[in-house]
Amino acid sequence: MNTFTEIHFVYGRSGALNFVLPIVKTSKGKSIIYCQEGNDDCKEIDKRIIILPHWFDMKISLKHKFIINFIPSCIYLYSLLLKNRKTKFIVHMNTFALFPLVIATLAGVKKRVYFNHGFPFIGASLTMKIIFYFIELLNIVFSTQIITVSPKQLEKLKNNLITKLKTIKSTFPGSCCGISKSRIINLKDLRRKQSSLILKKSKIYITYIGRPLIRKGFPYVIQVFECLKEMIPDKNLQLQVIGVDQKKVYDALKDKSKIDSIISIKYTNDVDYFLNKSHITMLPSTRESFGYAFLEGAAKGNALALFDICGPDCLVKKNYNGIVIESNAKYFVFARSLAEIINKPKELIKMMNNARKSSLKFDQVKVLKSVRGII
Backbone angles phi, psi at 163, to 5 degrees: -90, -5
Dmax over CA atoms of the chain, in Å, equals 69
Shared domain for 21 and 165, answered yes or no, is yes
Beta-bridge partner residues of 237: 204
In this structure, is residue 153 part of a structural domain?
Answer: yes
Nearest 10 degrees: CA dihedral of 84, 365, 209, 324? Answer: 120
Give the domain range for residue 263.
181-362
Total domain count, the chain: 2
* Per-position pLDDT tens, the chain of length 375: 457 899 999 999 999 999 999 999 999 889 999 999 887 777 778 999 999 999 999 999 999 999 999 999 999 999 999 999 999 999 999 999 999 999 999 999 999 999 999 999 999 999 999 999 999 999 999 999 999 999 999 999 999 999 999 999 999 999 999 999 999 999 999 999 999 898 877 899 999 999 999 999 999 999 999 999 999 999 999 999 999 999 999 999 999 999 999 999 998 989 999 999 999 999 999 999 999 999 999 999 999 999 999 999 999 999 999 999 999 899 999 999 999 999 999 999 999 999 999 999 999 999 999 999 999
In this structure, is residue 314 part of a structural domain?
Answer: yes
Q: Read off the amino acid at residue 89.
A: F
In this structure, is residue 313 part of a structural domain?
Answer: yes
pTM: 0.94
Shared domain for 136 and 207, answered yes or no, is no
CA-CA distance, 178 to 158, in Å (whole number)? 24
Shared domain for 268 and 218, answered yes or no, is yes
CB 65 within 8 A of CB 125: no
Residue 133's domain is classified under what CATH number?
3.40.50.2000
Shared domain for 266 and 192, answered yes or no, is yes
**Residue 269: what pLDDT?**
87
Shared domain for 289 and 204, answered yes or no, is yes
Shared domain for 39 and 106, answered yes or no, is yes
In this structure, is residue 367 part of a structural domain?
Answer: no
Shared domain for 193 and 271, answered yes or no, is yes
Shared domain for 266 and 335, answered yes or no, is yes
Shared domain for 186 and 164, answered yes or no, is no
CB 49 within 8 A of CB 33: yes
**Residue 2: what pLDDT?**
52
Choose the final residue of a domain: 170, 205, 226.
Answer: 170
In this structure, is residue 372 part of a structural domain?
Answer: no
Shared domain for 81 and 187, answered yes or no, is no
Shared domain for 130 and 278, answered yes or no, is no
**Residue 135: what pLDDT?**
97
Q: Which residues of 86-98 are buried (b: 16+ CB within 10 A; e: fewer)?
A: ebbbbbbbbbbbb
CA-CA distance, 242 to 236, in Å (whole number)? 20
Q: Which residues of 207-222 are buried (b: 16+ CB within 10 A; e: fewer)?
A: bbbbebeebbbbbbbb
The residue among 290, 294, 295 whose CA lies nearest residue 309 is 290
CA-CA distance, 214 to 216, in Å (whole number)? 5
CB 169 within 8 A of CB 138: no
CA-CA distance, 129 to 335, in Å (whole number)? 29
Choose the final residue of a domain: 170, 192, 224.
Answer: 170
In this structure, is residue 52 part of a structural domain?
Answer: yes
Choose the final residue of a domain: 108, 142, 170.
Answer: 170
In this structure, is residue 371 part of a structural domain?
Answer: no
Shared domain for 244 and 132, answered yes or no, is no
Give whole-number Cα distances, 123 to 43, 92, 101, in Å.
Answer: 32, 20, 25
Strand ranges (DSSP E) for the chain?
6-11, 31-36, 49-51, 88-92, 112-116, 145-148, 168-170, 203-209, 236-242, 262-265, 280-282, 303-307, 322-325
Backbone angles phi, psi at 123, to 5 degrees: 90, 0
